[in-house]
Chains A and B, each alone.
Chain A
Amino acid sequence: MSIEQFKNRNVSDDYFLVDIEDYPTDGWGQFKRVVKRTFKGELFVGLWVVLREMIKFDIHTVQYPKEKMPIGPRYRAVHEMKRLWESGTERCIGCGLCEKICISNCIRMETKIDENSRKEVSEYSINLGRCIFCGYCAEVCPELAITHGARYENASEQRAHFVMYEDMLTPIDMLKAGQQQEFEGFGAITPHEDERVKKTPLAY
């Protein structure tokens, strides 16, 4: 294998040099070029193209506040805190991994031992004003409790609005209505995962 193959940067072999005529040097040549360009009718081609587009009426506008483009499942916008489907309790177990991995130090959580001697998250906040939406917290979460949602309109008048845990947590009535959107991005359970589970071989 020779080096020439790697030096050829052309993506396809269909490239060709555009045939450019030499510029006229004398007055008569310039005059001929002017006449040729005048009666070539290229201006009417331009007129026809825009009129054709107007008649076809193939509008590509998305009227943004009313319509929105579909967004990919792996898009990393404002976080969502998920609940368990069966019991409705929060999935977060207070392990603190997201707080630890957060590279912009915007996640803060306080935990305590509750009366059933289980770990309970008493305070959880993400400062979205600092968050760079890198996705590490969602990636590191062992319970799929914190994920990224598709809500990218996170402008606000007050900084206090950027840390509201209640906004991120799935409301309990939405969960009961079965409207909690599972995260399909990185770390999510792939479809038909149940069928792929094998019994642990115990008969050693």
Chain B
Amino acid sequence: MDMAYLIETIVKIVVIMLIFSALAGLGTYFERKVLAFMQRRLGPMSVGPYGLLQVAADGIKLFTKEDIIPTNVVAPIFKFAPVITAATAFMAAAAIPFWPQFTVFGYTVHPIVADTEIGLLYVLAVMAIGLYGLLLGGMASANKFSLISAARTSAIFISYEVVTGLSLLAPIMIVGSFSLIDFNNYQAGGITHWLVWTQPVAFILFWIAAFAETGRTPFHLIANDHEIIDGFGTEYSGMRWGLFFIGEYANMFFISFVIALVFLGGFGDGGLMGALALIAKVSFFFFFFLWTRAAWPDVRPDQLMWLCWKVLMPLAVINVVVTGLVMMF
């Protein structure tokens, strides 16, 4: 491993970290604005022009808030749990190509940290590990509602891992690779080559599962609003809670990238228009996360489980079987 590769990788990691930490902050701003407009409100307006500096105000608040470790909590795990959520969210970004490769001063840059052959598998696996942050945080909190929420969260996450994996299996069978770059190149031929036309069921299933994986409304059961408290994060304050938050929003962005890359052609042939189209697709999926939050109610945990095991999983299996049969004959 030569020095240039090492430096390039570190630079890429730092850039991705900075961009997506900032985007997570801006994501909260957009969420509040979009939700407000849909509910005929204005949203944040006071800090900065149109409330744009609200993100900075929130950041200052989170950073300077007292870091409370309640009595009776299992302190080491309690302190470490938010780091798992945030870290795994960003680790998942390692195998995602955010931009087609481009040349700067004669030096070709690949905007992906590690183009491994198991890229998609790695993304799914690391995102699944993010569950441990919520689970351990809830279990260590010495709060029964946190514990209940953590149990519910892990049940939902594990269930929906099944749907995520099975729904992605059919596109993987077609493309024959786990690498997201290969996925992109397979669909580089234009809009008619997109996998969403050949795999519409997998697309919708993965999209639904993405809501459960990121814990967004209508599957916002990780922090069950009906219990008034904030689920597993009840006992957290300050930047530890902020880490959970950054992890959730980074996950939303990364899963939007995965949906766009796997099903909607990604950045196409690698031109500038393709790259901008990728940003547009990701923006749409992120907007859709906010849109559903304004429009749809939450479902009950048992309804969510029913949906997963009795509807989505059989559909995913049938989809895999049918895809296999079509490919065989």
Contact = CB atoms under 8 A, between A and B. Distances in A.
Contacts of A43: 295-296
Interface in B11-65: 34, 37-42, 45
Interface string A43-73: 1001101110110011111010000000000
B121 interface: no
Given A54-B34, A57-B37, A47 B42 contact: no
Given A54-B34, A63-B45, A49 B295 contact: yes
Contacts of B41: 59-61
B40 A51 contact: no
20 contacts: A34-B311, A43-B296, A46-B295, A46-B296, A47-B292, A47-B295, A47-B296, A50-B39, A50-B291, A50-B294, A51-B38, A51-B291, A53-B37, A53-B39, A54-B34, A59-B37, A59-B41, A61-B42, A63-B42, A63-B45
A47 B291 contact: yes
Nearest to B38: A50
B38 to A, nearest CB: 4
B150 to A, nearest CB: 29
Contacts of B294: 50
A34 to B, nearest CB: 8
A53 B38 contact: yes
Contacts of B45: 61, 63
Contacts of A58: 40
Interface string B306-329: 000001000000000000000000
Interface residues of B, number: 14
B38 A54 contact: yes
Interface residues of A, number: 15
Contacts, number: 38
A59 B39 CA distance: 8
A60 B311 CA distance: 41
Contacts of A63: 42, 45
B40 A59 contact: yes
Nearest to B37: A54
B40 A60 contact: yes
Interface in B198-213: none
A51 B38 CA distance: 6
A47 B39 CA distance: 12
A43 to B, nearest CB: 6
Contacts of B296: 43, 46-47
Residue of B39, B45, B295 contacting most chain A CB atoms (<10 Å): B295
Residue of B34, B39, B41 contacting most chain A CB atoms (<10 Å): B39
Interface string B80-116: 0000000000000000000000000000000000000
Nearest to A52: B38
B40 A53 contact: yes
Contacts of B38: 50-51, 53-54
A198 B1 CA distance: 108
Nearest to A61: B42
Contacts of A54: 34, 37-38
A59 B36 CA distance: 9
